[in-house]
């Protein structure tokens, strides 16, 4: 194989980080919004609108065009279909991912090698201020990053929740415990869909108070309450007849997941439902891409211990803790699955 032939298939990988920086800088400068408002601007017009000197603007346009984000015709530029959604709401998929990848993940992920070697989240420790051992603990001290996180998480959860309300039958349950329920996205959708269902969210104290504000603003304070606690230090509140782990168990190690599912089993009576919503990993360990990316993120940044586990592993942990696994569904269009079970 010639040197050229050997380089070619690797080129995409070598250049991926430059491409992301073109995308991120274009997004932060408002390039895609400017071209959505005024398609067909020239290089000097774009430089003036973005407040850039001519040569940096030329570099940005070169990279965004070569990455397929812009189309150039004569001396004018248009958003490509790939970039068009980036001009939409900054709190929705896919725009909410850009500040998330840029401000939370990009620098920490340069410590992936060290994180693999040490088996912990070196990236978080090196790049995100604070003493807490998890990203979530450090976000509490970094309100801008916390907002960036919850914008991204909310954008994903809304996509999932829109589908979850149609796919999950909660008519037989009266009180759902939403473990690590974040800023109440799932809870809000589920409470509206099932008006007789009460929901108790448990999450870290700063997140629980943000959730309670959102719940009150949504007029759901009678039905949904968020309680601030640490799921590893505290027992789960009793009295619920269904437990939801939404985008939560993939953060933690196998041992801690077994412990959390056992806590859920202790908190509920026979017949209670269990629902694990999580990005899906193929049972044979070959993908998909999302599972690989998130696994690197959980190790290097989020917790230093989690990964995207397979549906079969969740079923085994549920079974061992006293829940009978009852099925698997796919939800949303971003690669999530739900594993369901019933307390024996």
For the CB of residue 156, give the shortest distance to ligand SAM in the complex, in Å.
7
Which residue from 181, 135, 154, 129 is spatially nearest to 298, judged by alpha carbons?
Answer: 135
Cβ atoms 210, 235 nearer than 8 A:
no
Q: Provide the terminal-to-terminal Cα distance of the chain, rounded to the nearest Å.
A: 59
Q: Which residues bind ligand SAM (CB under 6 A)?
A: 134, 136, 153, 157, 180-182, 185-186, 202-204, 207, 230-232, 246-248
- Closer residue to ligand SAM, CB minimum distance, 185 or 338: 185
Which residue from 144, 118, 112, 113 is spatially nearest to 129, judged by alpha carbons?
Answer: 144
For the CB of residue 181, give the shortest distance to ligand SAM in the complex, in Å.
5
- Closer residue to ligand SAM, CB minimum distance, 37 or 230: 230
Q: Which two tokens stand for residue 121?
A: 């989240």
Return d(Cα 68, Cα 262) in angstroms, integer. 48
For the CB of residue 136, give the shortest distance to ligand SAM in the complex, in Å.
4
- Closer residue to ligand SAM, CB minimum distance, 71 or 328: 328
Return d(Cα 81, Cα 98) in angstroms, integer. 17
For the CB of residue 312, give the shortest distance to ligand SAM in the complex, in Å.
22
For the CB of residue 313, give the shortest distance to ligand SAM in the complex, in Å.
18
- Closer residue to ligand SAM, CB minimum distance, 150 or 343: 150
- Closer residue to ligand SAM, CB minimum distance, 104 or 204: 204
Q: Which two tokens stand for residue 5?
A: 């032939």
Which residue from 203, 277, 196 is spatially nearest to 236, judged by alpha carbons?
Answer: 203
User: Which residue's Cβ lies closest to ligand SAM?
Assistant: 182
The secondary structure of 280-335 as a DSSP string is -B-TTS---HHHHHHHHHIIIII-SS----BHHHHHHHHHHHTEEEEEEEEETTTT
For the CB of residue 95, give the shortest distance to ligand SAM in the complex, in Å.
17
For the CB of residue 277, give the shortest distance to ligand SAM in the complex, in Å.
7
Give all strands of the β-sheet with 224-228 in edge-to-edge order: 224-228, 198-203, 175-179, 242-246, 273-279, 336-343, 323-331
- Closer residue to ligand SAM, CB minimum distance, 23 or 163: 163
Helix (H, G, I), strand (E, B) or coil at 266: helix
For the CB of residue 19, give the shortest distance to ligand SAM in the complex, in Å.
26
- Closer residue to ligand SAM, CB minimum distance, 82 or 292: 292
- Closer residue to ligand SAM, CB minimum distance, 202 or 220: 202
Cβ atoms 193, 165 nearer than 8 A:
yes
């Amino acid at each position: 194989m010639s040197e050229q032939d050997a380089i070619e298939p690797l080129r995409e990988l070598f250049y991926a980080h430059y491409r992301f920086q073109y995308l991120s800088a274009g997004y932060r400068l408002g390039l895609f919004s400017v071209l959505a408002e005024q398609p067909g601007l020239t290089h000097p017009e774009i430089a003036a609108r973005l407040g850039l000197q001519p040569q940096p603007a030329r570099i940005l346009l070169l990279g965004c065009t070569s990455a397929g984000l812009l189309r150039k015709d004569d001396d004018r530029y248009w958003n490509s279909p790939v970039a068009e959604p980036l001009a939409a709401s900054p709190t929705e998929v896919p725009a909410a991912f850009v500040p998330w990848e840029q401000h939370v993940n990009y620098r920490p992920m340069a410590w992936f090698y060290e994180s693999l070697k040490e088996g912990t989240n070196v990236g978080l420790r090196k790049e995100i201020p604070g003493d807490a051992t998890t990203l979530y603990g450090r976000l509490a001290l970094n309100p801008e990053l916390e907002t960036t996180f919850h914008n991204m998480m909310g954008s994903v959860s809304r996509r999932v929740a829109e589908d979850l309300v149609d796919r999950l039958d909660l008519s037989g349950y009266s009180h759902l415990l939403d473990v690590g329920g974040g800023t109440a996205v799932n809870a809000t959708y589920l409470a509206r869909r099932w008006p007789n269902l009460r929901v108790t969210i448990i999450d870290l104290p700063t997140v629980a108070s943000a959730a309670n504000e959102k719940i009150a603003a949504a007029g759901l304070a009678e039905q949904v309450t968020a309680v601030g606690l640490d799921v590893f230090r505290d027992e789960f509140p009793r009295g619920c007849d269904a437990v939801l782990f939404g985008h939560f168990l993939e953060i933690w190690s196998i041992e801690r997941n077994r412990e959390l599912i056992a806590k859920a089993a202790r908190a509920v009576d026979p017949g209670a439902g269990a629902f694990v919503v999580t990005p899906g990993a193929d049972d044979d360990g070959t993908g998909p891409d999302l599972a690989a990316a998130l696994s690197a993120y959980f190790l290097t940044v989020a917790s230093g211990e989690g990964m995207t586990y397979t549906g079969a592993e969740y079923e085994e942990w549920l079974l061992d803790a006293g829940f009978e696994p009852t099925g698997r569904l796919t939800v949303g269009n971003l690669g999530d699955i739900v594993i369901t079970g019933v307390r024996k």
